[in-house]
Amino acid sequence: MADKIVSNKTNLQILHEDNHIIVINKRVGDIVQGDKTGDKPLSEVVKEYIKEKYNKPGDVFLGVVHRLDRPTTGIVVFARTSKALERLNKMFSERETQKTYWAVVKNRPAKDEDNLVHFLVRNEKNNTSKAHSKEVPNSKKASLDYKIIKELNNYFALEINLHTGRHHQIRAQLSAIGCPIKGDLKYGFDRSNPDGGIHLHARKLVFIHPVSKEELTLVAPTPSDAIWNSL
């Protein structure tokens, strides 16, 4: 499927928009929902865009369905109606979606493709998750499949399909096999990226539209840098 992108003056990258949902290609540094930093979240930017575009009086409804880490890029879905939000929440929590990520790592994984299963323990204090090979107290099972899709100069590009949706799952699991993501200091990479982001991108999402019931396949173009562009 060809990359499709629509831009507008608020600099949002809109991948899909209809009366019930709006799908954004998140940039590095955007937070999906407000947090303790007080920085303006993507949800507020999208609300302002809808209010202005459709000349809506009063408050605009926008439901946050799922999140991406701040240094990560790619597909984020918002609901524009309460009916869509309820159905999407159910769909995402019951794993009725297909999520594909791209990641760039420096070390070659032991296998060209594999299923990784770990047990993650979240540390609220430093906002990380540690991956264990066996079940330990307070751990949650995490599973993903990866495959090498391209060998780059000094790096390897992986395609990842998630089976569970744990906190920092991809970052923690790849770090646990000795393949931290480029720029991800928190999980063992040796230096940061200039923009403060990491090379992890929510590339593709397949799901059933909550109202029309059509299958949607959305693909988010990668950020523009030398490494992503080589893919």
Report pLDDT for 38: 82
Residue tagged 């007080």 (tokens): 38
pTM above 0.85, yes or no: yes
Going by C-alpha positions, the residue among 155, 168, 183, 162 that lies closest to residue 116 is 162
pLDDT in tens, 155-196: 999 999 999 999 999 999 999 999 999 999 999 999 999 999
Which among 3, 39, 69, 225 is annotated as catalytic?
69
Tokens (6 digits) for 47 = 């609300």
69 catalytic residue (yes or no): yes
Stated as kind and residue range, the H or E segment containing 76 is strand 73-79
pLDDT for the residue 170? 98
Tell me, what's the pLDDT at 172?
98
Task: Specify the pLDDT at position 10.
Answer: 55
Alpha helices in 101-229 (DSSP H): 169-176, 226-229
Amino acid at 92: F
What stretches in the chain show pLDDT beneath 70?
1-10
- Strand partners for 210: none
